[in-house]
Structure 1
């Protein structure tokens, strides 16, 4: 048993005791095969929140600065995270992400590339999500995280229906354009489900 499998039940219990969690659209998440989950980003609590909402293991990309913290970087690696140098076209991270997806892993990515703390409308993001969508046969799912992570407040995790990546490829979209389409789907979920969170 690896650290991810060992720690997941503990983290899940912590989240269940700390927040009132509502998970919507789990039926949209395939039980196997490469999946790219693209979400808005509120907090560093987001990756574990999405991870404990799924029955299958989740890999995720984290900013490289976190791996420079003594001990913490090693912990992240054991929890299925890998670093990416933002804004640099980190080819090593891109290759690893594509490899994981093609091997059938579920990968979480935040297309905006930074936290959007106030549930503000999503702005132009990075091209990574679109690149992965165009370069792999992954099922691409929009995900919305809604809430404020206050004690015993409601946190909603909504998994939308798969995005039609075949159409993106037929239209020969650029990675940035594909990312914009993905973000539109995430924003639609946020608009549909935003409501009282406490």
Structure 2
């Protein structure tokens, strides 16, 4: 999951020319508590999930790159695969324990990355977390990495499930 110089440039261009203007300008997004987010070092960001836009919005809000687990089906779409990999995503097989995704998560944390995990493992229509999975807590305990809870609200109205 290491970035080449060109990838970093493309990442930051996407963030500042596409994601941030959408978040701030089009959707009038606001963030609270950014001063509490460590700027470096490993970190597991846990959040609710209602919209396709949640991963880039979380990364934009915490002001640092975040590697997200993403369902493996997304990596079958060639153009989308390139964009989400650029944003640090790596595939996870849903419905069971995916050891490769767990190793990718631990490797990213060992390199000092922030890793984003949506607690439901999928989007919900209202952004609530009715049945959180325990994977984030397991990874945090195994790697001695702090958890940062993030709450998104209103994103269920922007590119929602279905």
Q: One fold, TM greater than 0.5?
A: yes
Residue 150 of structure 1: CA displacement? 4.7
1:1-198 equivalence runs, <5 A: 1-2=6-7, 3-10=10-17, 11-120=19-128, 122-148=129-155, 150=157
Provide the aligned C-alpha RMSD in A.
1.7
Q: Which moved more, 1:104-113 or 1:73-82?
A: 73-82
Residue number in structure 2 paired with 1:186: none
Pair member with larger Rg: 1
User: What is the CA–CA distance in structure 2 between the aligned matches of 1:128 and 1:150, rounded to whole Å?
Assistant: 27
* Structure 1 residue 124: Cα displacement: 2.2
Give the whole-Å Cα distance in 2 for the aligned partners of 1:33 and 1:76: 22
Does the CA contact (< 8 Å) of 2:127 and 2:152 recur in 1?
no
Supply the distance in 2 between the matched residues of 1:6 and 1:137 (Cα, whole angstroms): 33
Larger fraction in strand? 1
Gap change, CA 1:150 and 1:123, over 3 Å in 2: closer
Report how far residue 142 of structure 1 moved. 0.7
Q: Which runs of 5+ in 2 are unaligned?
A: 1-5
1:61-96 deviation digits (Å, cap 9, x = unpaired): 111010111322122112211110012311111001
For 2:43 and 2:104, the matched residues in 1 are separated by 14
Whether the 8 Å contact between 2:48 and 2:152 is mirrored in structure 1 is yes
**TM-score of the two chains, using structure 2 as the length reference:** 0.85
Partner Cα distance (2:64, 2:84) in 1: 18
Cα shift readout 1:144-171 (whole Å, capped 9, x = no counterpart): 00114658xxxxxxxxxxxxxxxxxxxx
Secondary structure of 1:118's match? coil
Partner of 2:3: none
What is the TM-score of this pair, normalised by structure 1? Answer: 0.70
Gaps of 5+ in 1: 152-198
CA contact (8 A) 2:49 2:152 kept: yes
